[in-house]
Structure 1
Amino acid sequence: MKMTKLASAIVGLALLSGNVLADDLPNVSILATGGTIAGSASSATNAEYTAGKVMIDTLVNAVPQLKDIADVKGEQIASTASGNLTEQDWFKLANRINELLAQDDTDGIVITHGTDTIEETAYFLNLVVKSDKPVVLVGAMRPSTAISADGPLNLYNAVSLAGSESAKGKGVMVVLNDTIHGARGVTKTNTASVNTFESKNGGPLGYMSYGKPSWVRQSPYKHTYQTEFDISDIKALPTVDIMYLYIETPAEAVDYYVKERKVDGMVFAGSGNGSLTTPLQATMEQYSKQLPFIRASRTGSGNTPDVSYYPEFPGSQGLSAQQARILLKLALTETQDPKEVAEFFHKY
Structure 2
Amino acid sequence: MQAHIPSETSRRVVILGTGGTIAGRASQASDNVGYTAAQLGVDQLVAAIPALAGQALEAEQVAQLDSKDMDFAAWQRLAQRLAEHLARPEVAGVVVTHGTDTLEETAYFLQQVLAPFKPVVLTAAMRPATALQTDGPQNLLDAVALAREPGARGVLTVFAGAIHGAEQVRKVHSYKVEAFASAEGGQLGVVEEGRVRCFGAWPQGQALGLASIVRPAAEWPRVMLLWNHVGADGALVRALLDHPTQRPHGLVVAGTGNGTLATDLEAALREAQASGVRVLRSTRCDAGPVMDLPGALPSAGALSPVKARIRLLLDLLAEM
TM-score (norm. length: structure 2): 0.91
1:104-119 to 2 correspondences below 5 Å: 104-119=89-104
Equivalent in the alignment of 1:331 = 315
Picking from 67, 70, 90, the partner of 1:82 is 67
Picking from 261, 273, 298, the partner of 2:258 is 273
2:108–2:307 CA contact under 8 A, matched in 1: yes
Equivalent in the alignment of 2:12 = 27
How far off its partner does 1:330 sit? 0.3
Corresponding residue SS for 1:172: strand
User: Which contiguous aligned blocks of 4+ residues in structure 1 show a shift greater than 6 angstroms?
Assistant: none
Equivalent in the alignment of 1:209 = 192
How far off its partner does 1:103 sit? 1.7
Aligned mates of 2:75, 2:208 — CA distance in 1: 18
Corresponding residue SS for 1:333: helix
Equivalent in the alignment of 2:303 = 319
User: Which amino acid in structure 2 is aligned with residue 242 of structure 1?
Assistant: L
Equivalent in the alignment of 1:286 = 271
1:115-194 to 2 correspondences below 5 Å: 115-129=100-114, 131-168=116-153, 171-194=154-177
Aligned mates of 1:292, 1:109 — CA distance in 2: 35
Q: Using a 3 Å threshold, how does the CA distance of structure 1 residues 219 and 255 change in structure 2: closer, same or farther? A: farther
2:221–2:316 CA contact under 8 A, matched in 1: yes
2:13–2:58 CA contact under 8 A, matched in 1: yes
Equivalent in the alignment of 2:50 = 64
User: Which amino acid in structure 1 is aligned with residue 286 of structure 2?
Assistant: G
How far off its partner does 1:150 sit? 0.9
Aligned mates of 2:191, 2:241 — CA distance in 1: 46
2:237–2:272 CA contact under 8 A, matched in 1: no
Aligned mates of 1:31, 1:256 — CA distance in 2: 41
2:115–2:155 CA contact under 8 A, matched in 1: no
Gaps of 5+ in 1: 1-14, 337-348
Q: Using a 3 Å threshold, how does the CA distance of structure 1 residues 228 and 254 change in structure 2: closer, same or farther? A: same
How far off its partner does 1:228 sit? 3.0
Equivalent in the alignment of 2:236 = 253
Residues 151-201 of structure 1, C-alpha deviation per residue, up to 9 Å, x if partnerless? 111000101111121313xx2001100000000021111111111100013
TM-score (norm. length: structure 1): 0.84
Equivalent in the alignment of 1:341 = none
How far off its partner does 1:124 sit? 0.5
RMSD across aligned C-alpha pairs, in angstroms? Answer: 2.0
Q: Using a 3 Å threshold, how does the CA distance of structure 1 residues 332 and 43 change in structure 2: closer, same or farther? A: same
Aligned mates of 1:103, 1:301 — CA distance in 2: 38
Gaps of 5+ in 2: none
1:201–1:318 CA contact under 8 A, matched in 2: no
Percent identity of paired positions between Structure 1 and Structure 2: 38
